[in-house]
Amino acid sequence: MTLSNKSVLHLPRNLLLAVATILLGFLAFVFVAYAFNLIQFPFDYDQGEGFELIDTIMFSRGEFPFRD
């Protein structure tokens, strides 16, 4: 059984398309899971609050967050 040049050229393209589709599906799943968890969060979401929380915890321990 021989493969024609046309089918040999389609194999890498189809493989890349399959990998890209799987990756896109995984990223869509991560996005939906993240959005679902974010919607259930009862407070406004601010990405900068994590830094303020760490600073507050360090101050409460008597540590200084702004080190060299």
pLDDT in tens, 12-31: 889 999 999 999 999 999 99
Question: Is residue 33 scored above 80 in pLDDT?
Answer: yes
Question: What's the rounded Cα separation, in Å, for the pair 55 and 60?
Answer: 9
Question: What's the rounded Cα separation, in Å, for the pair 35 and 32?
Answer: 5
Question: What's the rounded Cα separation, in Å, for the pair 4 and 53?
Answer: 63
Are the C-beta atoms of 26 and 16 separated by less than 8 Å? no
- Name the band, by pLDDT with cuts 50, 70 and 90, for residue 4: low
Question: What is the model's pLDDT at position 53?
Answer: 84
Task: Give 51 or 35, the one with higher predicted confidence.
Answer: 35
Question: Is residue 47 scored above 80 in pLDDT?
Answer: no
Question: What's the rounded Cα separation, in Å, for the pair 1 and 30?
Answer: 43
